[in-house]
Amino acid sequence: METRKRQPIGVELVKRGIVKEKDIENALQYQKEHPDKKLGDILYHLHVCDANKLIEAIGDILGEKGILLTGDKIRVRLTDYFSLDVAQKNKVVPFEVISGRIKVCFANTVNLKKMNTVKLLLLNKGLVMESYITFEDDINRILKSMEGEATTNFEVSSENNDTAIGLVDSIIKTGIQRRASDIHIEPMAEEVRVRYRIDGELFTAAKIKKEKQQQMIGRLKAISNMHQEKQDAQDGRILLYEGYNIRVSSQPNVYGEKFVLRLLRKNTNIKNIFDLGFPGTEESLKKSIQKKNSITIIAAPTGEGKTTTLYSIMDYLNSPEINITTIEDPVEIRIKGLNQIEIDNKSSFSGSLRTVLRQDPDIILVGEIRDTETGEIAIQAGQTGHYVLSTIHTIDSIEVITRLRKMGLSDYDISSTLATAISQRLVRKLCPKCKKERQFTEQEKKIIHTIGEKYNVNFDVSGITYDTPGCKYCNHTGYYDRIGIFEILDITDEIKEAIILGKSSLEIKKIALEQSYKPLLIDGIKKVINGFTTLEELNKKLLLF
C-alpha cells in the first residue's frame, strides 16, 4: 500500500486544526531529547489534544484507519493468530475478527514490510487483514502486559537458580511439570530466551540475563555428553531425570548456541487408537490395517502425531503369534513383544530393511519412507507376503500417491501394494476446567453447512459449542492436550485402476469422494460439533475460512 504524497505530519495536523503551531514546536523540542520517538507519539504523550481525534487524523494523513487501541477493544487472543515474538517484532496487535476478516493494529508508522509479513501470516490462516494504526506506546504497553502474563504463567523457579546447575535444572523440571514436548533455549542479542512447546504451541517461559549464557551452555553440554569446545551443531542425550529420555540438539546462531530439548517419556503407556481420535469402528479399522501383502502409509507434516498413530496401530496388532519388527530413527517408545531397531550413523532405513526381510517378519514398521530406495524395498516387502507400515511427509492421503510417484515408484507397484493411506493433524482439545458453553453463531453455522453441502454431509449444529476463556489449569490458553483428526483413503479396485492409468490426484480424489473417502475437515468439524475442539482451532490447521 502506498501512502499519498503529503506535507510533514506536523504541518498537516496544524492545517486540520488538531493541534497548534506551539504544540508542534514543543513536540519537536521534545523529539531532540528523544530521537527514537515519532511526532504523533510525542503529541499523544504531551496530552495536547483529544487522543481519538489525533490518531484518526494521523491515520487519514498516512492513508490508514487510525484507532485509539484500549483493552476493551481487544476481543481476541493474540497467540491464536501468531506468536508474541512476531507481534513484538512487527509492533502489531490483532483486536477483532468478523466474518473471516481480522482487524489488526500497527504502530503509527506505515512499514510495508512488516504489514505484508503479518498479512501473509494471516492469509495462511484463511483470514483477510484489515489494518489500523495506533500509538506505538499503546502497542508496547499491550504487548508488555502480555509478556508479563506469559512469564507468570510459566515461571521458572528453583531454590538454587542463581547457579548454572540450578537454573538448567529448574528450566527442565518446569518444562516437565508443564507438559512441554520441547524446550527451546535461545541466545538473543541482550538475553537468553526460554520457550516451551505445549500442545503444539510455543510459549515464552523466561528471559535470562545474558551473562549467564555461557555457564548455561556449559552445563547443558556437560549433562548431554557433548563436546565442550565444539561450536558446531551437535546431538546429545540427558538421562538425569527419572522417567525421561531427553534428546538434545545444539545449533550455533549469531548470538551463541541454541539448544532444543525434546522431552520423551520412558515406558509411556500407548494410547488406544480410538482414544487418539481415530474415526469409525473397530470393524472399519480392521478393514483398513489388517491386510497382508500390502502397505499402509500415514501422511502428515512434521509434528502432527504420525509416530504416535503408528505405535497405537502396532500395539493394536501386537500378539505372540505375530513377528513384528520396527526400524525407527530413533526408537521413542519401547513396546513389549516387538523387535525394535534404531537407526544410527552407520545404518539407514533401506539397509536395515534389507536385513529385516531375512528375519522372517510378518509385520514391518519403517519409521519413514524418505527416498526411492527405501520406497522400492518397502514395496517389495509388501509384495512378498509382509504387511508394511510407514509414514511419509505430504499434505493428505491422496497426495501419498503423488509422493510415491515422484520417488520414481511405478504406478503398477503403487496400485498393487498400497492398501490404505491415512492423513492426520493434531488440534488442541478444549480445557475441561474452563470451557464455556454457548450456541453456534450464524456465521459458524454457515461455514459448517457450506462444507457439508460440498461433501454431501449433513451436520447438526443445533447443539452447543464452547468458548475458551482460559484458566490456571490450561496455562490460560483455553486448551489442554490434543486430539487427532483423520482422513482414510482405502485403495479400492476403482482407485487401483485410476492409479494404473496414470490419473492425476484430482481425478483420483473425485473417484474417492464418490466412495467412502471424506477429507480431513469432515472429521475435524465432527470433533467441533462433539465438543472436543473449536472451529477457530480447526481453522488454524485447515484454513476453513
Concatenate the DSSP letters of all residues of 414-441 into one string.
HHHHEEEEEEEEEEEEEPTTT-EEEEPP
Question: Residue 272 domain-assigned?
Answer: no
Taking the C-alpha atoms of residue 458 and residue 452, their distance in angstroms, rounded to an integer, is 6
Grid coordinates in use for 150? 506469559
pLDDT of 93 reads 92
Residues 338 and 374 in one domain: yes
Residues 251 and 119 in one domain: no
The DSSP 8-state label assigned to residue 271 in this structure reads P
Query: What CA–CA distances, in Å, run from 123 to 116, 479, 492, 497?
Result: 10, 23, 36, 38
Q: What is the dihedral of CA 5, 9, 11, 15, to 10 degrees?
A: 90
Domain boundary among 82, 115, 146: 146
Q: H or E stretch including 525?
A: helix 520-529
Composition of the chain by helix, strand, coil, percent to 5? 40, 25, 35
Is the pLDDT confidence value at 149 over 70?
no
Residues 369 and 342 in one domain: yes
pLDDT of 290 reads 66
Largest CA distance in the chain: 91
- CATH classification of the domain holding 363: 3.40.50.300
3-class state of residue 298 by DSSP: strand
Question: Residue 450 domain-assigned?
Answer: no
> pLDDT of 436-481, one tens digit each?
899 998 888 999 999 999 999 999 999 999 988 888 888 778 899 9
Q: What is the mean pLDDT of residues 355-359?
A: 87
Grid cell 487519514 — which residue? 60
> pLDDT of 249-260, one tens digit each?
999 999 999 999
Question: Residue 523 domain-assigned?
Answer: no
Q: H or E stretch including 352?
A: helix 349-356
> pLDDT of 511-540, one tens digit each?
999 998 999 999 999 999 999 999 989 988
Residue 435 burial (10 A CB sphere; 0-12, 13-18, 19+): buried
Work out how many domains the chain is built from and give that number.
3
pLDDT of 494 reads 97
Average pLDDT, the chain: 87
User: What is the Cα 495 distance to its own chain's centre?
Assistant: 32
Question: Residue 338 domain-assigned?
Answer: yes
Residues 491 and 357 in one domain: yes
Grid coordinates in use for 44? 499523544
- CATH classification of the domain holding 126: 3.30.300.160
Taking the C-alpha atoms of residue 378 and residue 124, their distance in angstroms, rounded to an integer, is 35
Question: Residue 541 domain-assigned?
Answer: no
Is the pLDDT confidence value at 54 over 80?
yes
Query: Hey, what amino acid is at 338?
Result: L
> pLDDT of 288-307, one tens digit each?
886 778 999 999 988 898 98
Domain boundary among 129, 146, 163: 146
Question: Residue 53 domain-assigned?
Answer: yes
Could you tell me the pLDDT band of residue 185, with boundaries at 50, 70 and 90?
very high
CB contact at 8 A, 43 and 7:
no
Could you tell me the pLDDT band of residue 147, with boundaries at 50, 70 and 90?
low
pLDDT of 116 reads 83
Grid coordinates in use for 511? 473417484
Could you tell me the pLDDT band of residue 150, with boundaries at 50, 70 and 90?
very low
High-pLDDT (> 90) share of the chain, %: 42
High-pLDDT (> 70) share of the chain, %: 94
Shortest CA distance to 133 belongs to which of 190, 90, 185, 172?
Answer: 90
Is the pLDDT confidence value at 493 over 80?
yes
> pLDDT of 93-136, one tens digit each?
999 988 788 999 998 666 787 888 888 778 767 788 999 999 98
Residues 292 and 217 in one domain: no
Residues 33 and 135 in one domain: yes
φ, ψ at 467 (rounded to 5°): -90, 160
Question: Which of 140 and 162 is assigned the larger pLDDT?
Answer: 140
- CATH classification of the domain holding 248: 3.30.450.90
Residues 177 and 218 in one domain: yes
pLDDT of 450 reads 93
The DSSP 8-state label assigned to residue 2 in this structure reads P
Q: What is the dihedral of CA 202, 203, 209, 214, to 10 degrees?
A: -30
Residues 63 and 162 in one domain: no
3-class state of residue 195 by DSSP: strand
Is the pLDDT confidence value at 430 over 70?
yes
Grid coordinates in use for 411? 504406478
Residues 382 and 512 in one domain: yes
User: What is the Cα 281 distance to its own chain's centre?
Assistant: 29
> pLDDT of 63-81, one tens digit each?
889 999 887 788 888 877 8
Domain boundary among 113, 146, 179: 146
Residues 82 and 136 in one domain: yes
Query: Which residue range forms the structural domain that includes residue 415?
Result: 282-428+482-518
Q: Out of 37-41, 92-96, 493-497, 507-511, pick the least confident.
A: 37-41
Query: What CA–CA distances, in Å, run from 404 to 202, 235, 395, 415?
Result: 33, 31, 13, 11
Taking the C-alpha atoms of residue 22 and residue 345, their distance in angstroms, rounded to an integer, is 73
> pLDDT of 201-223, one tens digit each?
888 888 899 999 999 999 999 99
pLDDT of 158 reads 43
Residues 488 and 390 in one domain: yes
pLDDT of 4 reads 45
3-class state of residue 519 by DSSP: coil
CB contact at 8 A, 292 and 385:
yes
Question: Residue 67 domain-assigned?
Answer: yes
Question: Residue 387 domain-assigned?
Answer: yes
Residues 337 and 205 in one domain: no
Contact residues for 422 (Cβ-Cβ < 8 A; gap 6+)? 288, 296, 297, 298, 299, 309, 397, 486, 487, 488, 489
